[in-house]
Amino acid sequence: MKILVAGHGALPEALVSSARMIGGELPGVASIGLFPGDTPQDLRDRMLQLLADFPADLILTDLAGGTPDNVASLVAKGGQVASIRLIVAGASLPLLLEFALSGTGIEELDSDDVISETGAIVRFRAPVD
Amino acid sequence: MTLSLVRVDDRLIHGQVIAVWLRALGADVIVVADDETAEDEFLKDVLILAAPSGVEVEVYTVDEAAPRITELAASSQRTFVLVRSPISVLRMVEQGVPIPLLNIGGMGAASNRSKLYRNISASTSEIDAMHALERLGTKVEIRIVADDSAVSFSSVAPPATNSNGV
């Protein structure tokens, strides 16, 4: 499975680099960031260029409704990149690792399960006095 | 009802507008008045996707937007108007759109712009347009997010040059 992480600023690259600390090399993972001054078209053009060499099945975006998420959705809906099977907004370290380390193709995974199993959880709550 | 927000922002609809201004003021309709966006299907789609569900997005050229905004200003719809330049706002005010208050929220540095206040920059023709707006009764204030206190354009403005005759 090839995964592209798309998001704001340095976050995608940092997320991938942190995932590699835990999961090893992760050759099937790449990242793309939107930086101040980039227009949505700039990001689209760079994303299309990247996807031409790296045909991702899955795009994880950092924020639903943010520009990287919107551009990825439009690129997928535009049909120019046949490899894209799924876009999921809300990229996080557990979500990325779960997909990247699954060892199977995107079609064999129940992506809704992966998403629900990697959500945020409360680990401590101060007692109410 | 008057327009809830008329804002100059290079990025039109983006996180700051949605997360901060929409939450603070609420809107039923966002009108984007921008010639370039109105003519680019991809950009238009990006903006429509950027708005949360329940908020209508309408994209027009500046001249098409003027009568529509006048109509919305008289309706009960809570309306945001987003443009990229105060020159567009001046064009609308000259066409009779009632804009008592203009929010300057995002005008980034560009080769033809120089710094006006903090990270807000403006070209000489944009400065002139803002002066002209104030003369026509539109109060122009710089306010990037709703929690910032408003800084009036007149308190930071260099004098008008009338470089473009406005």
B78 in a structural domain: yes
Quote the mean pLDDT of chain A.
95
Chain A residues within 8 A (CB-CB) of chain B?
36-37, 40-41, 44, 63, 65-67, 70-71, 73-74
Residue B99 has pLDDT above 70, yes or no: yes
* Contact assessment for residue B102 and residue B139, using Cβ atoms and an 8 Å cutoff: yes
- Closest-CA distance, A62 to chain B, in angstroms, reads 12
* Distance in angstroms between the alpha carbons of the first and the last residue of chain B: 29
B55 in a structural domain: yes
From CA B72, how far away is CA B34, in angstroms rounded?
17
Tell me the CATH architecture of domain A3-117. Answer: 3-Layer(aba) Sandwich (3.40)
* Contact assessment for residue B146 and residue B24, using Cβ atoms and an 8 Å cutoff: yes
**Identity of the residue in B14, B15, B46 whose CB atom sits nearest the CB atom of A71:** B46
For A16-60, the pLDDT digits (tens) are 999 999 999 999 999 999 998 888 899 999 999 999 999 999 999
Structure tokens belonging to residue B104: 């300057």
B14 is catalytic: yes
Tell me the pLDDT band of B15, cut-offs 50, 70 and 90: confident
Provide the pLDDT for residue B36.
94
B111 in a structural domain: yes
B159 in a structural domain: no
From CA B129, how far away is CA B164, in angstroms rounded?
9
B42 touching A (Cβ < 8 Å)? yes
Contact criterion met (CB < 8 Å) for B46 and A65: no
Radius of gyration of chain A (CA): 15
What residue ranges do the domains of chain A occupy? 3-117
From CA B93, how far away is CA B90, in angstroms rounded?
5
* Contact assessment for residue B152 and residue B139, using Cβ atoms and an 8 Å cutoff: yes
Residue B2 has pLDDT above 90, yes or no: no
Mutate to test the interface with A, among B20, B45, B113, B121 (most CBs of A within 10 A): B45
Own/partner pairs, A92-95, CB within 8 angstroms, 24+ separation: A92/A15, A92/A118, A92/A120, A93/A15, A93/A18, A93/A19, A93/A22, A94/A118, A95/A60
Q: In chain B, what percentage of residues exceed pLDDT 70? A: 97
C-alpha angle B124/B129/B131, rounded to 5°? 95
* Contact assessment for residue B20 and residue B105, using Cβ atoms and an 8 Å cutoff: no
Question: Which one of the listed residues B3, B10, B11, B14 is annotated catalytic?
Answer: B14
Mutate to test the interface with B, among A34, A35, A42, A74 (most CBs of B within 10 A): A74
The neighbouring-strand residues paired with B152 are B141
Structure tokens belonging to residue B52: 């949360």
Provide the pLDDT for residue B14.
82
CATH label of the domain that carries residue B22: 3.40.35.10
Average pLDDT over residues A88-116: 94
Domain limits for position B143: 5-154
The neighbouring-strand residues paired with A7 are A33
Residue B145 has pLDDT above 80, yes or no: yes
Residue B166 has pLDDT above 50, yes or no: no
Provide the pLDDT for residue B163.
57
Tell me the pLDDT band of B165, cut-offs 50, 70 and 90: very low
Number of separate domains in chain B: 1
Residue in chain A lying closest to B109 (CA): A37
**Identity of the residue in A41, A65, A66 whose CB atom sits nearest the CB atom of B42:** A41
Residue B122 has pLDDT above 50, yes or no: yes
Element (H, E) at A5: strand A3-8
